[in-house]
Amino acid sequence: MLLLAAWAPGRERVALTDATIAATFAAFANPAPREADIRREQSTGPRSDLLELPAPPHPFGLSVPEDDPDLQALVRRRRDAQLQQAVYEAYLQTRGGELDDVRNALTRAIDAAGLGTPTSAWLTAAAVDIAAGNIYVVSGPAMHDVGLQLPPHGPT
């Protein structure tokens, strides 16, 4: 049929060629539903959604799974939550202030929490964020455990 359309003279040739190509591709545009799609639509279980809200906060990292064989995970999570709380206290006192003042407030808050002095590089990174008016995020779970929301990503 395509050969006849190609050899027809004048406008009819163009129209017939276009109609033949459109009919050919139309057959492939609406294929029959696949078996996997039918099974997915019939599923009654909950769908996994990446945009689901996180679990409610737990004070100082008590939401470590019970089946976790690593007991140090609870200790690390609690320490991160305490460190995040100290960062938040320094943030409330000195946000947008001078870098030296922020470092001093951060060091005092960490010492008051009994966590020991972190490295100079870490203190500088956290102080720069706080001096710029942003909260330093120790980790997402730590922010969640303290009861804070993660700041938005990208420009606002």
Q: What is the pLDDT along the chain (156 residues), one digit of tens a residue?
A: 555 555 656 666 677 777 777 777 766 665 555 555 555 555 455 555 555 555 555 555 555 555 556 677 788 888 999 999 999 999 999 988 899 999 999 999 999 999 988 899 999 999 999 999 999 999 988 888 888 888 877 665
Written as six digits, the tokens of 70 are 């690593």
Among the listed residues 16, 62, 77, 57, the one whose alpha carbon sits nearest the alpha carbon of residue 3: 16
pLDDT of residue 53: 58
pLDDT the model gives residue 72? 77
Provide the pLDDT for residue 20: 78
The CA distances from residue 151 to 6, 66, 72, 136, 139, in Å, are 62, 29, 28, 10, 12
Phi, psi dihedral angles at 118 (to 5 degrees): -75, 180
| CA-based nearest residue to 88, from 22, 147, 18 | 147
Instruction: Indicate the length of the chain as a whole number.
Output: 156
Look at the pTM and tell me if it is higher than 0.75.
no
Phi, psi at residue 36, to the nearest 5°? -65, -40
